[in-house]
Amino acid sequence: MKQPYPRYKFSGVHWLGDVPEHWDLVQLGRLGSFFKGGGGTKEDEIEGGFPCIRYGDLYTQHQFSIKRSRAGIAETSTSKYRRLRYGDLLFAGSGETIEEIGKSAVNLIKGPAYCGGDVIGFRPAVNVDATFFGYAADCHSAIYQKACMGRGVTVMHIYSSELKHLLIPLPPCEEQRAIAEFLDRETAKVDALVKRKQLLIDRLAEYRTGLITQTVTKGLPPDVSGAEGFDSSPPMKPSGVEWLGEVPEHWNVSSLGRLGLFFKGGGGTKEDEVEGGIPCVRYGDLYTQHEFHIRQSRAGISEDSTKKYRQLQFGDLLLAGSGETLNEIGKSAVNLIAGRAYCGGDVIVFRPICEIDATFLGYAADCLPAIYQKACMGRGVTVMHIYSSELKQLRMPIPPIDEQRAIGTFLDRQNERIETLISQVEGAIERLHEYRAALIAAAVTGKIDVRNYALIETEGSAA
């Protein structure tokens, strides 16, 4: 059980409260000096080059410490960059939100390393433990202070003139090392738990993908509610499509172009969006908001703007006309919005002209075989595109309508169950992250005394 320190004193700042009596509270500017990161561009990056940290990496790659770099630069490019020392603290000079401005991590790379532009560096001139420093400069209390220092509207900025006032609770060096070792051990345990839970989410997602693909191409499992009235082991026939294999003998296999008509989405911009407006689906929403089905929209548009857009019907299939990778090109979802709805540009709309269950269509058009076909249809280099002329050739197994409805109902039920499990695991991960952040904040601000705990752990390992 982690205990508080025996004696405390008021820190002098209300948001921090009390700190251990023998600790100091020091402004960062009194502990060393600031420097600016270097310039250069991503074109300087090469495989196996000298480690280089860019400001964006502080948001995406590093938390509290930097032990390896995402990218390297050629020796001939190093003159453009700021060379780092072990223990230098790096701050991101700009960011998208006030909550993340000044995200920081300490350099623990041994050997030559560099940083790019829009990085604010701090080099300690006093003896401090580098790992402790990394935790202390980006714990909750430090994030709160940096948020108060941020400036800007669309892009936030922070400067060394503000960062020099960042207050750091500072215990003696030996105690700093004990806290750092404690946090390294405890956060590693939490990270291992998070990794296992994330693996569970990945497996649930893989199971769902497999279940959907199996059901929309082979039929309902024989032992489930809703399968009554359907042959549990129907005779199979070759589909005529190599990637699809066999399908139930009484099913058809048809190209999408024979099942309906294609339309282009409308134009318009995000400036047309209004709160509480008429539902409008943009192509990017198909990647970020919708999976298989669209039951509500992220945004709405004003009545005056609707003439720029394509009006949708219930059951229309929407496909993204462009994307970043072959695996995501043509990402699709079927419109299940009751009432008026529209779509924006770079959306391809497929409207069935024969009887197809909308729920079944949503699953069938974005199962693994469909994704594989759409990937083969994609064109482009930096941005991939897909067109209705190719999508007309998309081949899908089509069971009788009653069976389509039963499959849609079954998959909705299973998908909801899996989503609930995933949500529960995600909640557990979020709580672990909160515990991790709270533990770091408590240790580096002296709310808990981990000195004896660290000693016991070390002795236990030795024994």
Query: CA 390 to CA 396: how far, in whole Å?
Result: 14
The pLDDT assigned to 21 comes to: 96
| Homologous superfamily of the 252-398 domain (CATH) | DNA methylase specificity domains (3.90.220.20)
Which residues, 6+ apart, have CB-to-CB distance to 32 below 8 Å? 122, 123, 124, 125, 126
Query: CA 358 to CA 322: how far, in whole Å?
Result: 23
Q: Would the CATH topology of 24-170 be identical to that of 252-398?
A: yes
Q: What angle do CA 72, 73, 78 make, to 5 degrees?
A: 135
Query: CA 228 to CA 241: how far, in whole Å?
Result: 29
The pLDDT assigned to 463 comes to: 41
Q: What is the CATH code of the structural domain delimited by 24-170?
A: 3.90.220.20
Which residue, 236, 215, 182, is CA-closest to 446?
182
Domain boundaries, the chain: 24-170, 252-398
Q: What angle do CA 138, 143, 148 make, to 5 degrees?
A: 145
Which residues, 6+ apart, have CB-to-CB distance to 82 below 8 Å? 35, 36, 37, 38, 114, 115, 119, 121
Backbone angles phi, psi at 114, to 5 degrees: -135, 165
The pLDDT assigned to 225 comes to: 55
Q: Do 55 and 119 touch, CB atoms closer than 8 A?
A: yes
The pLDDT assigned to 82 comes to: 95
Query: CA 116 to CA 287: how far, in whole Å?
Result: 32
The dihedral region occupied by 339, where left means phi > 0, alpha psi between -120 and 50, and beta the remainder, is: left
Residue 101 is given by DSSP the state T
The pLDDT assigned to 98 comes to: 87
Query: CA 443 to CA 446: how far, in whole Å?
Result: 5
The pLDDT assigned to 348 comes to: 96
Transcribe 318-331 into DSSP letters. Answer: EEESEESSTTTTT-
Low-confidence ranges of the chain (pLDDT < 50): 1, 456, 458-463
**For the chain, percent helix, then strand, then coil, each to nearest 5?**
40, 25, 35
- What angle, rounded to 10 degrees, do the helices at 173-218 and 451-462 form? 70
How many angstroms separate the first and last alpha carbons of the chain? 21
**Strand 45-46's sheet: what is its strand order?**
45-46, 71-73, 50-53, 114-115, 82-83
The pLDDT assigned to 382 comes to: 84
Which residue, 307, 266, 300, is CA-closest to 283?
266
